[in-house]
Amino acid sequence: MLKQIEGSQAMAEAIGLCRPEVICAYPITPQTHIVEGLGAMVKDGRLKGCEYLNVESEFAALSVAIGSSAAGARTYTATASQGLLFMLEAVYNASGLGLPIVMTLGNRAIGAPINIWNDHSDAMAARDAGWIMLFAESNQEAVDLHIQAFRLAEELSVPVMVCVDGFILTHAVERLDIPSQEQVDAFLPPFEPVQVLDPADPISIGAMVGPEAFTEVRYLAHHKQMTALDRIPELAADFAAAFGREAGGLLKSYRLDDAETVVLAMGSVMGTIKDVIDDMRADGARIGGVSLCSFRPFPIGPVREALQNAKRVVVVEKDLAVGLGGVVAANVRMAMRVFDVPVCTVIAGLGGRSIPKTSLRRTFEAAARNELEGLHFLDLNWDVVNRELERAGEKRRSGPVAENILKDLGLIMHKVM
Amino acid sequence: MNKPFAITLDVGSSLANLTGSWRTSKPVYVDRIPPCNMTCPAGEDIQGWLYHAESGDYRAAWEHLMRENPLPAIMGRACYHTCESACNRGQLDTAVSIHAVERFLGDLAIKEGWLITDKAPPTGKKVLVIGAGPSGLSASYHLARLGHAVTLCDAGPLPGGMMRFGIPKYRLPREVLDAEIGRIVALGVELKLNTKIDDIPKAMKDGGYDACFAAVGAHLAKRVDIPAPDAARILDAVSVLRHMETGEEPPMLGRRVIVYGGGNTAMDVARTAKRLGAEAMVVYRRTREQMPAHDFEVREAEEEGVVMHWLRTVKQVDEASFTVEKMTIGADGWPQPTGEFETIEADTLVLALGQEVDTTVLSKIDGVKVTRDGTIQVDQGMMTGYPGLFAGGDMVPSDRTVTVAVGHGKKAARNIDSWLKGASFAPTPRHGLATFERLNPWYYTDAPKTVQPTLDILRRRTSFEEIHSGLDETNALFEARRCLSCGNCFECDNCFGVCPDNAVIKLGPGKRFDFNYDFCKGCGICAAECPCGAIDMVPEEK
Amino acid sequence: MPNETVQPIKFYQTGTLTVGNRLLDPEKRTVQASGERTNAITSGHRACQGCGEALGARYALDAAMRATGNRVVAVNATGCLEVFTTPYPETAWQLPWLHSLFGNAAAVASGVAAAMRAKGRPEVRVIAQGGDGGTTDIGFGCLSGMFERNDDVLYICYDNEAYMNTGVQRSSATPPAARTATTPAVGDKPGNVFGTGKNLPLIAMAHGIPYVATASVADLRDLEAKVQKAMTIRGARYIHVFVPCPLGWGSASQDTIKLARLAIESGLFPVFEAEYGEVVRSRAIRRKVPVEDYLKPQRRFAHLFKAGKPDVDRIARLQAVADANIKRFNLLRPDGDA
Ligand SMILES: Cc1ncc(C[n+]2csc(CCOP(=O)(O)OP(=O)(O)O)c2C)c(N)n1
Ligand code: SF4
Ligand SMILES: [Mg+2]
């Protein structure tokens, strides 16, 4: 059913349709609207048979989820940013125990400096935690990915994180197609756990494993994700057949035919990139795009296949591995290591910095001319940076960097704190 | 379930890990001899019979008791219960009132008419027992149970020896005495009263006896020379007490009686005199603390109005007044005369200075030796120098109590039995003592002993009614349950409960426990927490 | 009840405090005395010799299993109990059991309880358990949250007064003066400092939850009664069990129960029950002992008893702690003998 609805509310409705049995969450912007929506649905009876817990921290939220999932309940939680870091120990634990929890990550920057706006730093911090990580390009896909996520998680007994860009998706009001309960029920069978805490058949979950078996345990987790490389496209196909629209899959390519410059990105920025590609194509540029949906497992084969004819690859990513560069680009380079093709990293949109089409176009054109450096910071204000570096060079106590920059930019006139 | 590898495990799999290999010392169950059993002169398995009494199975308790001692109702009254002084419970609150439970069992058996029926098949051997006192009765009983034909002769008109002629009625009612003796006779013992045997070897030969046990006691009163006019009335304690039983009339004691001596017999006579209406006094040359009489006897005598004169010796007896000399305790602990004199108004002196054995009959037998203190010498197996002639009780060197005598009778019987079979009797070796230190008394809650009701003091001064009554069933049960079961597992489940490794196997009621050494790590908690000290930790050999 | 547990009266002592007092009605006898007890932790676990925690956990969980007809799930924090029971490939647990992390047992248990409610199986009860570190320190946030929400979980803390699994470091349950690896017995204030630490049972009470109790491996009957009672109550419940650790305390393995007993009898460990934030009962001291009796057998307090110069000041301060408990919980009463 088509609805004019906020992204978060739409996701909440979709999650509700998946009939979760336990939901627990702790508030953090920009995830709040999703769990508020679900809370209201439980409270007013729209979502039946579901226990909703307001817990005291994200660590507790995921811990509750671990308990309820191990006890055989379909379990959902959501977080963002600092919250993900706060629960990180449990993030690893949930996957280590093979618990099919679905969690929405409303992608947001990580402080300090504290920042509530969107980027992918939080997701990147948990990239090796053993979760399947799917990035939604649009709110429609965010809705659809959650439905697929439960099925994927439960089939493989592995937790799935659905990453949605904070504010850009979570707070945007759009016209979205919310499926019916019958459609979701037909797609998503009831949860049948591979292991469950049941007095009728007691088992011990969470043993201590020493060197003699730890590698094997880890390999099996890896193997599970490799299996997901097959299952994700299959599920996406199933989904398309059932719901009549594309969503998910490992990646989606855009106007790749004869593309010499290929731009790869994850999440909502792909919308802007597609616009830029369209504009440049209109002007005759041979440019195309790849929207990566499955970041974990990382589809090395499909990425390589998609990029095999490119002369250059530009990875636009909303994160920074400080001291190295782009995380996604590093992964892409791994896929491309057999080809002699430059992979450039464009760090963009950190902490909610807008990503204007003009800036992107300028950057892609530079890339097409082979003038783009390996690591490029989109719209970096070099004046500010240089001034701060200068100050820092002069005296040891040059004051707080962020504040200095804001002062330089004329955004604050004096110390406010 | 298709469980995840390594992370998820099936229940009970730890049983594959045999932690017993960690052990450096291991627990073992032991039986230790409780101090009550250890000290009982009659060799009773006190803890053993209390075991049955605790569960209310009094018949079993009585039968268990009767294995060692045929006179529980008498013992429960007349025994000075050294067991209770030794009882570990005394270090906790008060000793278990063993005698009271014993008496309860004995009285119950009399009331119910319980009899001992299991007897060994007849051996064809004949044994002559001389003296129907506690020792002779006990020997007869055990010999009869062992299948021998027993003839029990006594020179007196009534059986019981000192139990009848030494212990006043108010401590041992005669119905009780008669009932327990009657039960022994009912076992097939031939009792011949008024039968004095002067020539034992001849009597044995004539009667075709294969062995003889002599236990005629010590009833020659010791005397001292005190200057006295012929008219002065001087009696001895044994005769007075005997007269109480045999005479038609009570003995003529006069109005004021002085009993000279500090033993239990002195108290018995003084209390008897009191009951007969006399003014009773005790003169003793040392202090109260040094009196050989049991404290409770002295206390009861005092309660009943017997007047005590400590540190006095009788110097001169006149018709109506006695001269006594004050004594003092010298540095060596012995009484010393002070040269100060007093006069006490009295008309009768009863000497209670102890008894001696009449050795005339035995000393003339070949090989029989008399010791320096006038008793008959016997070997380890209670046999005199004359083969087949055994002796016991007050005749042989030892403490002179009813219980010791009963013990002698049993010991002699078992040795006679072995001797008749041509073997020598080897008592089963005893376990180590269950000392208080081995117990973990925490687990026993406070339960002070039950006090036996005592007769009203006025009646005590004037009648020969038994002064202590027995326990009723509830009290006897409670009292039995105060036993700590020192040194013997009582299946309290502590070891089973406290083992952190579930390495104690419960074998079921009455079967106790076993250790599962596959898993026992040897921590020792079971031994430390065993209330009764029935677990030892022993080093593992490597 | 199965036949074997109804042991015919055979032999017992009046009023004994032993595991198997057959004077009691069969249904009042301890779970541990029963040959049919579930042995929630079975043999073959790798706890040290004489481990109080292994014992306390079996006592508690066997009682819970009995109380619920075995319908109970346990969630375990990281710590000795977890490590010694479940090293791959062997588990000692006989009931459904889950270990997630060190600091989240209470929350995980809340999750299990929520799942059971959602699944329509509220008869399956949930126990969370952990050491003192996992409870009073790292797991405190989750625990407080579980309390505050009044989730239907019984949390059991096995207090051995330090982080044992990692080699005996101080926790906020470590008593003053105790030597641990991080409060060594050196300097002029050897061991853990006075005036620190927290009293979790009292904090639990402050949440106003239906039931809070302290218990000890030295009083099995009391412990079982408390677990049983806790299982009759819905909502958040907390039981704090005192479990000596021979390794961490430097005590003899056979002294585990004895030390737990002395802790009670000296007043250092008050045993009590509270309902909705109010103390409703305490267990009176039976045979009062000075704190020295408890401290001396433990090497972690050895520095207080140096030959020739005992640390009388600090022993007196510990005695003052005991005396304060005695006063606060009214532990010296005529009904001292159970
Ligand atoms: C987050 C985290 N921090 C630290 C540890 C290390 N650690 C594991 S067990 C433990 C000590 C446990 O102490 P306690 O909870 O008192 O239980 P005990 O071992 O004493 O029974 C520690 C510090 C851990 N596993 N996880
Ligand atoms: S260190 Fe302490 S708590 Fe841990 S297993 Fe050993 S005795 Fe038990
Ligand atoms: Mg600890």
Report the residue among C49, C51, C157 best suited for mutation to probe ligand 2: largest number of ligand atoms under 8 A from its CB.
Answer: C51
Secondary structure of C60-74 as H, E, C letters: HHHHHHHHHCCCEEE
Ligand 1 contact, C160 CB (< 6 A): yes
Residues paired with residue B279 on neighbouring β-strands, in sequence order: B256
From C293's Cα to the closest Cα of chain B, the distance in A is 15
Q: Do A59 and C116 touch (CB under 8 A)?
A: no
Domain annotation for chain A: domains and CATH numbers: 2-243 (3.40.50.970), 251-377 (3.40.50.920), 384-417 (no CATH)
- What is the nearest CA distance from C106 to chain A, expressed in angstroms? 8
pLDDT tens for each residue of C213-224 = 999 999 999 999
CATH number of the domain encompassing residue C159: 3.40.50.970
C2 part of a folded domain: no
> DSSP assignment of B7-56, as one string?
TEEETTGGGGS-GGGG-SEEEEE---B-HHHHH-TT---HHHHHHHHHTT
> Distance between CA A34 and CA B70 in Å, rounded?
91
Distance from CA of C94 to the nearest CA of A (A): 7
Least Cα distance to B50 among B520, B477, B504 occurs for B477
**Residues measured by CB to lie within 5 Å of ligand 3, the ion:** C 131-132, 160, 164
What total of structural domains would you count in chain C? 1
Of A22, A89, A197, the CB nearest to C73: A197
Q: Is C211 in the pocket of ligand 2 (CB under 6 A)?
A: no
B-chain CB neighbours of C46 within 8 Å are: 17, 19
Q: Chain A residue with minimal CA distance to C90?
A: A207
Could you tell me the distance, in angstroms and rounded to a whole number, from the CA of residue B359 to the centre of ligand 2?
74
Task: Decide if B6 and A203 are in contact by the 8 Å CB cutoff.
Answer: no
3-class secondary-structure state, position A251: strand
Euclidean distance between CA atoms C20 and A306, whole angstroms: 75
Q: List, as own/partner pairs, every contact residues A210-216 make where C-beta atoms lie below 8 angstroms and the sequence separation is at least 24, other chains included.
A: A210/C87, A210/C88, A212/C88, A213/B5, A213/B6, A213/C88, A213/C89, A214/B6, A216/B5, A216/B6
Q: What is the pLDDT of residues C199-214, one digit of tens each?
A: 999 999 999 999 999 9
Taking the C-alpha atoms of residue A316 and residue A303, their distance in angstroms, rounded to an integer, is 15
Using CA atoms of B409, B412, B416, B418 in order, give the dihedral in degrees to the nearest 10: 120
* C-alpha distances in Å from residue B492, one per residue of B443, B451, B530, C26: 10, 27, 9, 14
CA C114 vs CA A44, A67, A177, C107: distances in Å: 18, 9, 31, 10
Distance A86 CA to ligand 3 centre (A): 24
Higher pLDDT, A142 or C14: A142
Q: Which residues contact B265 (CB under 8 A, 6 or more apart)?
A: B166, B237, B238, B241, B352, B354
Chain A: nearest CA to C192, how far in angstroms? 30
User: pLDDT of C275-334, one tens digit each?
Assistant: 999 999 999 999 999 999 999 999 999 999 998 889 999 999 999 999 999 999 999 987
pLDDT digits (tens, 9 = 90+) for C44-96: 999 999 999 999 999 999 999 999 999 999 999 999 999 999 999 999 999 99
- Give residue B467's pLDDT: 85
DSSP line for B376-416:
B---TTSB-SSTTEEE-GGGSSS---HHHHHHHHHHHHHHH
pLDDT > 70? residue C12 = no
C333 located within any domain: no
Three-state secondary-structure class, residue A296? strand
Residue B320 confidence (pLDDT): 83
Any domain includes C312? yes
Question: Is residue C197 one of the residues assigned to a domain?
Answer: yes
- Asked if the C-beta of A207 comes within 8 angstroms of chain B's C-beta atoms, the answer is yes
What integer pLDDT is reported at residue B145 of this predicted model? Answer: 97
Chain A contact set for B7 (CB, 8 A): 96-98, 205-207, 209, 217
DSSP, collapsed to helix, strand or coil, labels residue B203 as: helix
* C258 interfacial to chain B (CB closer than 8 Å): yes
Q: Which of C102, C241, C245 is the best mutation target for the ligand 1 pocket, counting ligand atoms within 8 Å of the beta carbon and taking the most?
A: C102
**CB B324, CB B341: distance < 8 Å:** yes
What is the model's pLDDT at position A411? 62
Cis peptide before A179 (omega within 30 of 0): no
Q: What is the predicted pLDDT for the residue at B429?
A: 84
| Nearest Cα residue to C55 out of C214, C168, C218 | C218
The residue segments making up the domain with residue C287 are 32-328
Interchain proximity C88–A210, CB inside 8 Å? yes
Interchain contact, B7 vs A98, CB within 8 Å? yes
Q: Is residue C75 part of a domain?
A: yes
Q: Quick check: CB of C256 below 6 Å from ligand 2?
A: no
B5/A195 Cβ within 8 A: no
Task: Indicate the residue of B12, B522, B537 with minimum beta-carbon distance to C94.
Answer: B12
CB-CB under 8 Å, C100 with A97 = yes
Per-residue pLDDT of B12-31, as tens digits, reads 899 999 999 999 999 999 99
Tell me which residue has its CA closest to atom 6 in ligand 2: C48
Q: Which ligand is nearest to the CA of C248?
A: 2
Give pLDDT, residue C3: 36
User: Per residue in B64-112, pLDDT tens?
Assistant: 999 999 999 999 999 999 999 999 999 988 899 999 999 999 999 999 9
Distance of alpha carbon B343 from alpha carbon A57, whole angstroms? 101
Q: Residues 344..373 of A with a Cβ closer than 8 Å to B: which?
A: none
Give the separation between CA C258 and CA B415, rounded to whole angstroms: 48
pLDDT by residue for chain A (417 residues), tens only, comes to: 999 999 999 999 999 999 999 999 999 999 999 999 999 999 999 999 999 999 999 999 999 999 999 999 999 999 999 999 999 999 999 999 999 999 999 999 999 999 999 999 999 999 999 999 999 999 999 999 999 999 999 999 999 999 999 999 999 999 999 999 999 999 999 999 999 999 999 999 999 999 999 999 999 999 999 999 999 999 999 999 999 999 999 999 999 999 999 999 999 999 999 999 999 999 999 999 999 999 999 999 999 999 999 999 999 999 999 999 999 999 999 999 999 999 999 999 999 999 999 999 999 999 999 999 999 999 999 999 999 999 888 887 777 777 777 777 766 554 443
> Could you give the domains of chain B?
3-31+489-539 (3.30.70.20), 38-114+439-462+470-480 (1.10.1060.10), 126-219+357-420 (3.50.50.60), 221-354 (3.50.50.60)
Check CB contact of A159 with chain B, cutoff 8 Å: no
* Mutate: best of B502, B526, B535, B540, partner C, most C CBs <10 A: B502
> In angstroms, what is the span from residue C163 Cα to ligand 3's centroid?
4
pTM: 0.90
Question: Is residue C132 within 6 Å of ligand 2 at its C-beta?
Answer: no
Mutation pick for ligand 1 pocket among C45, C75, C165, C242 (CB with most ligand atoms within 8 Å): C165
Predicted confidence at residue C99, as pLDDT, reads: 98
Residue C7 is predicted with a pLDDT of: 37
B4 CA: distance to closest CA in chain A (Å): 8
Nearest to B7 among A96, A196, A202 (CB): A96
Q: Can you say whether residue A237 is alpha, beta or left, with left for phi > 0 and alpha for psi between -120 and 50 degrees?
A: alpha
Residue of B nearest to A70 (CA): B8
Whether C40 contacts C70, CB under 8 Å: no
CB contact under 8 A, C149 and A75: no
Residue of B nearest to A205 (CA): B8
B chain contacts of residue A214, beta-carbon cutoff 8 Å: 6
Does ligand 1 have an atom closer than 6 angstroms to the CB of C183? no
Q: Does B447 touch chain C (CB under 8 A)?
A: yes
Q: Which amino acid is at A137?
A: E
Q: Is the CB of C85 under 6 A from ligand 1?
A: no
Tell me which chain B residue has its CA closest to the CA of residue C87: B14
- Nearest ligand 2 atom to the CA of C54 is 8
Q: Are strands C272-275 and C278-282 parallel, antiparallel or unpaired?
A: antiparallel
Contacts of A47 in chain C (CB under 8 A): none
Q: Identify all chain C residues contacting A209, using CB atoms and an 8 Å cutoff.
A: 88
Distance between Cα C157 and ligand 1 center (Å): 13
Token digits of residue B464: 């020969």
What pLDDT score was predicted for residue B332? 87
Measured CA to CA, the distance from residue C260 to residue C244 in angstroms comes to 6
For C128, the closest chain A residue by CA position comes to A67
- What 8-state DSSP symbol labels residue A325? B
Give the pLDDT confidence score for residue C336 in this predicted structure. Answer: 60
- Where chain B has pLDDT below 50, the residues are none
CA distance A290 to A51: 39
- Contacting chains of C (3 CB pairs or more, <8 Å) are A, B
ipTM of the complex: 0.95
Q: Which residues in chain B have their CB less than 8 angstroms from residue A216's CB? A: 5-6
From the CB of C79, is ligand 1 less than 6 Å away? Answer: yes
